[in-house]
């Protein structure tokens, strides 16, 4: 599935990173995967619902990490949207949700003597 650009939660996660909360780990050693020793940890993003699964060693090193993305978070194969597009969508959604309108001010020109013009 392709990312829904009109979903501000997906856009926020793409721009700002995920907002993780720890949840009970859903990592199992079943399903034919090699058993990996360590502490199983799982986290869920409070905005988009993505789940991050990790195994930590007894000295705190990251052994393995995987993600379970929610529908519409990932891109269709061969497609990518770059950060400026997410920023544009974020700004539009921000105004729609009642945040104050952003002003795009041109800097005040500085004269050669260091004083401001205007």
Helix %, strand %, coil % of the chain (to 5): 20, 20, 60
Q: Is residue 117 part of a domain?
A: no
Tracing tokens 């005040």 back to the chain, one arrives at 108
> Is-contact 76 2, C-beta < 8 A?
yes
Residue 114's pLDDT band (cuts 50, 70, 90): low
Asked, for residue 108, whether it belongs to a domain, the answer is no
Q: Mind listing the pLDDT tens digit for each residue in 13-60?
A: 888 889 999 999 877 655 555 667 888 999 999 988 999 999 999 999
Q: Give the separation between CA 50 and CA 35, rounded to whole angstroms.
A: 24
The most confident of the ranges 2-11, 18-27, 71-80 is 18-27
Sign of CA dihedral 18, 77, 2, 91: positive
Main-chain phi, psi angles of 75, to 5 degrees: -90, 155
Task: Report CA dihedral (78, 20, 23, 4) to the nearest 10 degrees.
Answer: -40
Give the structural domain span for 44. Answer: 8-96
**pLDDT at 80 exceeding the cut of 50:** yes
Element (H, E) at 18: none
3-state secondary structure of 63: strand
Residue 12 lies in a domain: yes
Residue 47 inside a domain? The answer is yes
pLDDT given at position 51: 94
Q: Please count the structural domains in the chain.
A: 1
């Amino acid at each position: 599935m392709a990312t829904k650009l009109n979903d501000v939660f997906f856009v926020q996660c793409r721009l700002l990173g995920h907002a993780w909360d720890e949840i009970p780990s859903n990592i199992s050693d079943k399903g034919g995967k090699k058993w990996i020793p360590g502490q199983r940890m799982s986290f869920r993003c409070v905005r988009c619902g993505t789940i991050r699964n990790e195994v930590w060693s007894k000295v705190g090193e990251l052994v393995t990490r995987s993600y379970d993305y929610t529908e519409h978070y990932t891109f269709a194969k061969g497609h990518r949207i770059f950060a400026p597009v997410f920023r544009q969508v974020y700004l539009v959604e921000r105004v729609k949700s009642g945040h104050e309108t952003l002003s795009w001010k041109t800097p005040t020109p500085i004269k050669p003597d260091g004083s401001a013009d205007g």
